[in-house]
Chain A
């Protein structure tokens, strides 16, 4: 059975690029859903199961940090691994994300190889 993935980014173009990248990997994916901000992502996660989330940080309405805090505070969602893909890849930000149990952190611009690697690592860590 393949994975259910949620992509959270306010740029529809970036969501499409990440989806395309994920479809190119050897990892079997059954469903990819999209959300434009943290608030929409929480609605998606609460509506149906998800194995892995790819999320941006800087988004309107609810940013990635607020999303992580809300997700981690919900016992039903806290175990879902999150990979952050963001233009904001400073060491300070990495520390902030580590404290929120983010599985991996990929800076933009990213390559398909970077995404496939962190996805494989995230899934291995989950097993």
Chain B
């Protein structure tokens, strides 16, 4: 994947995080992304004009902030179910916007429902060690994104 595409992924992600979740992010070096204690991993697979997947990993703490922001409610009202839903929906919105930015406008894609789970240390390490991963710094909390499209 070219540097230009990775920069587009980063740029689309920062824009979506701001508009969808009111979270401001900066591009970061993947190597700087220290593994948090608890991480949620969302996967969105897609088919149609091309096949691929988006993986998004983020600290639980940031996921809670996003859920609270999206709902416009107190963080104490965010249940574990809503937390997973928020991360899954964010991954869904990110994936749709990346496909729109990176592919021809007439192409139609079918996004699968997001799968969200607790990430293992191995999941985080796999993302960190890939040259296809993009990192964002959200006020000291890191989000890792890996977008593949065939």
Residues of A near any B CB (own CB < 8 A):
10-14, 16-17, 20, 58-60, 63, 86-93, 95-96, 107-109, 111
Question: Which one of B67, B92, B97, B107 has the greatest number of beta carbons of chain A within 10 Å?
Answer: B92
**Interface size of B as a range:** 20 to 34
CB–CB B105/A14 < 8 A: no
1/0 per residue, CB under 8 A from A, across B67-93: the answer is 100111000000001100110110011
Report 29 cross-chain contacts, Cβ distance below 8 Å, ordered by A residue: A11-B85, A11-B92, A12-B85, A13-B67, A13-B70, A13-B85, A13-B89, A14-B89, A16-B71, A17-B70, A58-B92, A58-B110, A58-B112, A58-B113, A60-B113, A63-B110, A86-B96, A87-B97, A87-B111, A88-B108, A88-B111, A90-B103, A90-B105, A90-B108, A95-B106, A107-B96, A108-B20, A108-B92, A108-B93
Task: Kindly provide the distance from the CB of A77 to the nearest chain B CB, expressed in whole angstroms.
Answer: 24
Can you name 10 extra interface pairs (CB under 8 A) apart from A13-B85, A20-B71, A90-B106?
A12-B82, A14-B89, A17-B70, A17-B72, A58-B112, A88-B96, A90-B100, A93-B108, A107-B100, A108-B96
